[in-house]
């Protein structure tokens, strides 16, 4: 299943009776054969009892992403290194009518430079050790993580009842446990060469991983809150939490442990965001009682259609094309000074979030409340002090090197 861990990893012993796989996607969903093959292999992992697969399903390193999996054993490989990664939606007290996109983008460019106070105290208030990676709190990270300023495009009556406002601005934050989760994952891999078989939750090793996992989940939630606080400070606004939904974690149940691998963990009546891309709509939905059939899981986003390497041959072949990728049809802009990331995270790399939401709604798992359009997407900005320092140096091109380009 996926990649093995090192040359001394024990091979997975297929189960004689694979777990039941419940598919919550239609024939209209873009699902790669590789993802379906991984899904089948996951159903044969030791201890696995049931799997729910969602319309954002796509291949992952250690199994398909976009699933909820019930098991009597713990499978750290399925959760991976970004333990507790999730989506948090916040309402801002800024009216849409006063928004100037370019000015907001200029302010959000300095998002990670905003002062957020004594993070040691915030960690302690969250029940976490005061020295648990305090320097990384309030940072987004790379890959598909982002902080996005959004406005309501369409609002259903249920959305109004839930308190959503089409004249208000929102922040959607996608991030996780940063290097903290990566360290927990690396330690588990190093300590347990046969990790593909999972861990006994009653064992010392299983209990230790679960405790570290719980700390990562709490840290990641705090991290998203602090990212949003920084964004609100940059925009000179106050904010309130609408939804905080993790999608990379384990939850205990009366039947075992549900592993959410790139799947939003929701309860009936809970609001949840389903992210689009920086050039397509995101959606806010309400989880129904039907999520009991899907192990309490739904899609957290559109899901990748093309992998990162493939995207470099599809879009952004020159600077002009890359600059176009930073704009969208609503006049929105993306802040991303990593030109590889601009290409890899292009809208065409992702599936249609609207189709994903439609499949989930037709499956009785959600009710759609609103769609939101992206206005400013923050991913990665060059440090301004670093830029100024380079400007004061002699032109690199005169020294035979290449000048620095910003995208």
- Is 148 marked as binding a ligand? yes
Strands 271-274 and 20-23: unpaired
b/e burial code for range 150-167 (CB count within 10 A of at least 16 → b): bbbeebbeebeebebeee
- Is 81 marked as binding a ligand? no
Q: How far apart are CA 163 and CA 57, in angstroms?
A: 31
- Is 198 marked as binding a ligand? no
- Is 302 marked as binding a ligand? yes
- Is 396 marked as binding a ligand? no
Q: How far apart are CA 62 and CA 80, in angstroms?
A: 8
- Is 144 marked as binding a ligand? yes
Q: How far apart are CA 95 and CA 169, in angstroms?
A: 6
Active site residues: 300
- Is 80 marked as binding a ligand? no
- Is 300 marked as binding a ligand? yes
- Is 259 marked as binding a ligand? no
- Is 147 marked as binding a ligand? yes
- Is 17 marked as binding a ligand? no
CA atoms within 13 A on the CB side of 329: 7
- Is 192 marked as binding a ligand? no
- Is 22 marked as binding a ligand? no
| Distance between start and end Cα atoms, the chain | 37
Annotated binding site for Mn(2+): 145, 174, 247
Annotated binding site for GMP: 144-148, 247-248, 282, 300-303, 379
Annotated binding site: 144-148, 174, 247-248, 282, 300-303, 379
């Amino acid at each position: 299943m996926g990649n093995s861990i090192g040359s001394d990893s024990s091979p997975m012993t297929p189960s004689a009776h694979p777990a039941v796989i419940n598919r919550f996607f239609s024939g209209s969903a873009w699902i790669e054969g590789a993802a379906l093959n991984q899904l089948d292999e996951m159903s044969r992992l030791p201890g696995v009892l049931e799997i729910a697969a969602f319309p954002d399903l796509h291949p992952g390193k250690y199994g398909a992403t976009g699933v909820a999996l019930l098991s009597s054993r713990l499978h750290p490989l399925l959760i991976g290194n970004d333990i507790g990664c999730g989506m948090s939606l916040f309402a801002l007290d800024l009216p849409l009518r006063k928004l100037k996109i370019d000015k907001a983008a200029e302010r959000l460019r300095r998002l990670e430079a905003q002062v957020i106070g004594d993070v040691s105290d915030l960690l302690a208030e969250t029940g976490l050790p005061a020295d648990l990676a305090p320097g990384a709190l309030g940072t987004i990270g790379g890959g598909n993580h982002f902080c996005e300023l959004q406005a309501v495009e369409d609002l259903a009556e249920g959305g109004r009842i839930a308190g959503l406002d089409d004249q208000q601005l929102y922040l959607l934050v996608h991030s996780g446990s940063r290097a903290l989760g990566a360290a927990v994952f690396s330690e588990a891999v190093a300590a347990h060469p046969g990790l593909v078989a999972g861990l006994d939750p009653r064992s010392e090793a299983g209990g230790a991983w679960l405790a570290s996992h719980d700390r990562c989940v709490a840290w990641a939630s705090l991290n998203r809150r602090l990212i949003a606080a920084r964004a609100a400070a940059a925009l000179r606004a106050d904010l309130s939490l609408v939804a905080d939904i993790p999608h990379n974690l384990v939850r205990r149940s009366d039947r075992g442990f549900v592993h959410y691998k790139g799947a939003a963990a929701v309860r009936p009546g809970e609001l949840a965001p389903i992210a689009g891309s920086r050039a397509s709509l995101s959606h806010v939905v309400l989880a129904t009682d039907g999520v009991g059939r899907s192990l309490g899981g739904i899609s957290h986003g559109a899901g990748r259609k093309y992998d990162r390497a493939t995207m470099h041959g599809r879009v952004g072949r020159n600077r002009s094309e890359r600059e176009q990728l930073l704009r969208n049809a609503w006049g929105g802009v993306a802040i991303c000074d990593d030109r590889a990331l601009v290409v890899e995270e292009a809208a065409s790399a992702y599936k249609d979030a609207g189709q994903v939401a439609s499949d989930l709604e037709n499956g009785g798992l959600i009710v759609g409340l609103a769609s939101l359009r992206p206005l400013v997407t923050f991913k990665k900005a060059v440090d301004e002090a670093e830029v100024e320092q380079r400007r004061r140096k002699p032109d690199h091109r005169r020294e035979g090197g290449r000048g620095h380009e910003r995208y």
